[in-house]
Chain A
Amino acid sequence: MPKKWSEKEIETTFKHMPGVKDNRSAEEILERLKADERLQEIAEKKRKPISWIPVAVAIAAVFFISLLIPSVLKKISSQPEQATNFSFEQESKMMNEEAEIERAASFAEEAALSDGNNYAVLQETLDEYFVFQIGLVFNEQVIPTSFLIPIEKVNVDFPNGKPNSVQLYEKYASKIPEEALGFTPYHPYGGSFTVSGETITHHAINDSSYVNDPLYEGIIRETFKDFKQWHSTIEREEESITLIHLQDEKNAFYKYTSSTGQSYLVKETQDSLTVKDALLNMATPPHDEVEVLIPEYVHYDITVENKVAHVQFHEELDLRTMDREEAVMLIEGFMLTAAEFNMRVQFENISPSTFERYELFAPLPTPIGSNPIYFSFE
């Protein structure tokens, strides 16, 4: 049997790791530094007078480019079809033709499966399914998941009317095969829940370890979105130990790939105060466990008008040059991020005008959930 490690023991063992000293003397290290050309350069630069020749060459080059750009732009605007493919052609210089053809073919094949994997749940889903949202965990990452349960099933389980998130949690959380689906088992939380107005109180059982888990807050936020406040109390202590404002955190979406190769859209805090901040933050990864949804070569601005966030791409973004999954994730990541602020998103300078289930020339619908899983809970 392997040794049982406690968290304290892990910390203490690290703290007692022995020091490892550099056996070289300061003089040896200094000698090596003195021999390094990069440090000699500094000294030389300080002494060297400024040479005007490279400066003059640079000025001449800038002048030449400034003469050249208007004529290039004019040429592009007079050839609209070519201009559409301009950025793609530039990028594709790096690739060989075969790879391009293969990618285009694979895109076409995938795109034909218009009901393929999606990451956003749309309002229209509610015609047939009831959405049970819950924060699941994979390797310390909270995945905001939407279980789509057939309406007939929910009608049978809740004959008195539409259930709230607490009722859904109490009914279905214990039936989620978290491990079989590849997640870490977290649910259901022990103890009981009471609801008063827009506040849920979690009466945790004596073991409060999960309440102190840093993932607890993220999980709760993704699971009980229809309430405003969350209190946790420990049964024995009879005092509120956690207060969470369930609707005050708005985040940007990123891509998370599990070790099993499954991709999810996940939220990460990046101090997004406005929808504009959040949509722009999507281009920067908050840490190395998630990836951005926007290709490195794509740049954009955001303007907001009448509850619609306009994403203006600097150069036309042709989704057909992207992998199908990448394109869907980009569209839906923007939609989900805007939805955090109860806003819709509209793209500008994008083609084609229709992509799978989306009409890209108009404001896109506000998604009602992310990472759908069809599950009947039978």
Chain B
Amino acid sequence: MNDSVFHQLYEKYHHDVFKFLIYLTRNRELAEDLVHEVYVKVLRSYQNFKGESTEKTWLFSIAKNVAIDYFRKQSVRRKHAADHFDWEKSELVGEAPSPDEFTVLNEQMQELLQALDTCTEDQKFVIHLRFLHDLSIIETAEILNWTESKVKTTQHRAIKALRRKLTTFPVERGKADHAQKME
């Protein structure tokens, strides 16, 4: 393993990638595990990196794939858990608690993140990359392997969807969110 490659990537991108993963998962321990997976993938394939994209977008696209992998596996597990659901042990499928950083966010920020949780996977990624990480449309398109036009459309749809969710009464929004998750 090449330590100097690790140190170089760590210096430049570690905190950005970690922030990306912790905002997606809202779980510090999980974000640490996923960032480890990102490094494993990056270090295993670093010699094949051809520089067709920037190092930054390459790293983010790997982080995005690692996150997608994790969420898809979780979703399969949840479906399996639902098939064999045991009401006595319902806490087994409960959500992990948010780390301290998220409990100190102001009410508006918390509300916004909750609404974002109910958006589609595409919409979540665009919002994270464009606004939480301030990446350009071109960078976002490279990371998600989309056209720039798709980034713009999805971003617009996401903001509209969030606005709609946020201006609905909380109780109604809860129902709508549930319906959307079931979808």
> Chain A residues in contact with chain B, CB under 8 A?
2-7, 10-11, 13-22, 24, 26, 29-30, 32-34, 36, 38-40, 42-43, 139-140, 213-214, 257-260, 287-289
Number of interface residues of B (CB under 8 A): 53
State which of B6, B157, B170 has its C-beta within 8 Å of the C-beta of A33.
B6
Task: Identify the closest chain B residue to A25 (Cβ).
Answer: B10
B35 close to chain A: CB less than 8 A: yes
Indicate whether A214 sits within 8 Å of B101 (C-beta atoms), given known contacts A10-B162, A289-B120.
Answer: no
The reply to whether B18 and A214 contact each other, CB–CB distance below 8 Å, is no
Task: Identify the closest chain B residue to A37 (Cβ).
Answer: B40
Indicate whether A39 sits within 8 Å of B162 (C-beta atoms), given known contacts A22-B18, A259-B183.
Answer: no
State which of B112, B150, B152 has its C-beta within 8 Å of the C-beta of A14.
B112
> Chain B residues in contact with chain A, CB under 8 A?
1, 3, 6-7, 10, 14-15, 18-19, 22-23, 31-32, 35-36, 39-40, 43-44, 99, 101, 105, 108-109, 112-113, 120-122, 127, 131-132, 134, 150, 152-154, 156-157, 159-163, 166-170, 179-180, 182-183
For B18, list chain A residues within 8 Å (CB).
Answer: 20-22
* Chain B min CB distance to A109 (Å): 26
State which of A20, A260, A288, A289 has its C-beta within 8 Å of the C-beta of B101.
A20
The reply to whether B183 and A2 contact each other, CB–CB distance below 8 Å, is no
Indicate whether A20 sits within 8 Å of B22 (C-beta atoms), given known contacts A5-B167, A14-B112, A39-B43.
Answer: yes
The reply to whether B43 and A33 contact each other, CB–CB distance below 8 Å, is yes
The reply to whether A7 and B163 contact each other, CB–CB distance below 8 Å, is yes
How far, in angstroms, from A4 to B167 measured CA to CA in the complex? 6
Closest 9 CB pairs of A and B: A14-B131, A140-B157, A22-B18, A259-B183, A5-B166, A259-B179, A20-B101, A214-B153, A39-B1
For B39, list chain A residues within 8 Å (CB).
Answer: 29, 33
Indicate whether A10 sits within 8 Å of B163 (C-beta atoms), given known contacts A2-B168, A39-B1, A214-B152.
Answer: yes
For A16, list chain B residues within 8 Å (CB).
Answer: 109
For B101, list chain A residues within 8 Å (CB).
Answer: 18, 20
For B43, list chain A residues within 8 Å (CB).
Answer: 33, 39, 42
State which of A10, A20, A289 has its C-beta within 8 Å of the C-beta of B159.
A10
How far, in angstroms, from A124 to B113 measured CA to CA in the complex? 51
- 20 inter-chain pairs at a CB distance below 8 angstroms, sorted by A residue, are A6-B163, A10-B159, A10-B162, A10-B163, A10-B166, A11-B131, A13-B112, A17-B23, A20-B18, A20-B23, A29-B35, A33-B40, A33-B43, A39-B44, A40-B1, A140-B161, A257-B183, A259-B179, A259-B180, A287-B154
